[in-house]
Structure 1
Amino acid sequence: MLGPGGSGVSVTAAAGALRTNAPARSTVLSIGDEHDTLLIALDPRSQLPAALGVYRVPGEPVAVTAGVDLLQVGQLDVVEDAWGEFTAALAAAIGGRHLLPVVGTIASIAPGEITGLPGIQEFLMLRRIRDAATSGRWRRIVVDLSGVGDPYALLRAPVALSAAMERLWPRATRLAQAAEKPALAQLSAAIEGIDRDCQDLTDLFADPHAVAGHLVLDASERGRRAVADHVAIAELTAFPLRSVQVSAGEFGASTAAVADEVRGLLGDDDVVVAEVPSGGTLDRLSRLRRVPVQFAAPSGRPYGSGAMTVRRVSGEGVDSVFELAWRQGLPEPDRLQLGRSGDDLLVTVAGFRQPIRLPSVLRRCRVDGADWSGGRLSVRLRPDPTLWPARQGGTGAAPSSR
Structure 2
Amino acid sequence: MFVGKGGVGKTTLACATAMAYVRAGERVLIASLDQAHSLGDALGFRFAHDAGTVPGITGVAPGLDVIELDSLALLEDRFREVVRVLDTGGGHDHGIDLAALDPAELTGLPGVQELLMLVEVAQLVEEDEWDVLVLDCPPTADMMRILTAPDTLLGYVERVWPPHARAMSAAGVDLRRAVLAATVDRIVATVTAVRDLLADHGRTGARLVTVAERVAIAEAERVRSGAALLGLRVDEIVVNKALAPVPPPSGPAEHPAVHWYLGRRAEQLEVIARLRDAAGEVPVVITAHTGREPVGLDSLSALSYAVRARPMLVDNPAEARASSGEPVVRWESGAGLHSVYTMRMPLPVADPATLRLGRVEDDLIVGADGVRRRVRLAPVLQRCTVEGAELDGDRLVVRFRPDPRLWPR
Q: TM-score, normalised by structure 2?
A: 0.84
Matches within 5 A, 1:58-137: 58=49, 59-98=55-94, 104=96, 109-137=101-129
**Structure 2 Cα separation of the partners of residues 124 and 242 of structure 1:** 25
Moved more, 291-300 or 226-235: 291-300
- Higher percent of residues as helix: 2
1:9 and 2:10 correspond: yes
Which runs of 5 or more structure 2 residues have no equivalent in the other structure?
50-54, 245-260
Offset from partner CA, 1:49-99 (integer Å, 9 cap, x none)? 13323431352111111111110001101111112211221233254343x
CA distance in 1, matches of 2:193, 2:404: 34
Q: Match of 2:248?
A: none
Q: Structure 2 residue aligned with 1:288, among 266, 275, 300? A: 300
Q: How far apart in 2 are the matches of 1:83 and 1:53?
A: 33
Aligned to 1:23: none
How far did residue 109 of structure 1 move?
4.0
Alpha-carbon deviations, 1:338-376, whole Å to 9, x = none?
012343211111122122222233233332221112332
With over 3 angstroms needed to count, the CA separation of the structure-2 counterparts of 1:374 and 1:47, relative to structure 1, is closer
User: Cα distance, 1:249 vs. partner?
Assistant: 6.3
Gaps of at least 5 residues in structure 1 are 20-29, 396-402
Change (3 A) 1:382 1:33: same
Where do residues 181-330 of structure 1 align in structure 2 (5 Å cutoff)?
181=173, 183=175, 184-248=177-241, 254=265, 256-268=269-281, 271-279=282-290, 280-291=292-303, 292-296=306-310, 297-299=312-314, 300-302=319-321, 306-330=325-349
Is the counterpart of residue 49 in structure 1 residue 75 in structure 2? no
Change (3 A) 1:187 1:126: same
AA partner of residue 337 (structure 1) = R
Q: In the alignment, is the contact (CA less than 8 A) between 1:368 and 1:380 conserved in 2?
A: yes
Does structure 2 conserve the Cα–Cα contact (< 8 Å) formed by 1:90 and 1:187? yes
Report how far residue 223 of structure 1 moved. 2.2
CA distance, structure 1, for counterparts of residue 322 and residue 13 of structure 2 = 23
Residues 321 and 338 of structure 1, relative CA distance in 2, 3 Å threshold: same
| Offset, 1:166 | 2.3
Aligned length, in residue pairs = 374
Alignment partners' CA distance in 2, 1:325 and 1:194? 31
Amino acid at match of 2:270: A
Structure with bigger gyration radius: 2
Q: Which residue does the alignment assign to 1:354?
A: 373
- In structure 2, the residue matched to 1:38 is 29
| TM-score, structure 1 as length reference | 0.85
Deviates more, 1:370-379 or 1:142-151: 142-151
Q: Report the residue type matching 1:293 in the other structure.
A: V
Percent of residue pairs bearing the same amino acid type = 30
Deviation track 1:3-36 (CA, whole Å, cap 9, x = no partner) reads 12221111111111112xxxxxxxxxx3553351
The equivalent residue for 1:158 is: 150
* CA distance in 2: counterparts of 1:163 and 1:307, whole angstroms: 17
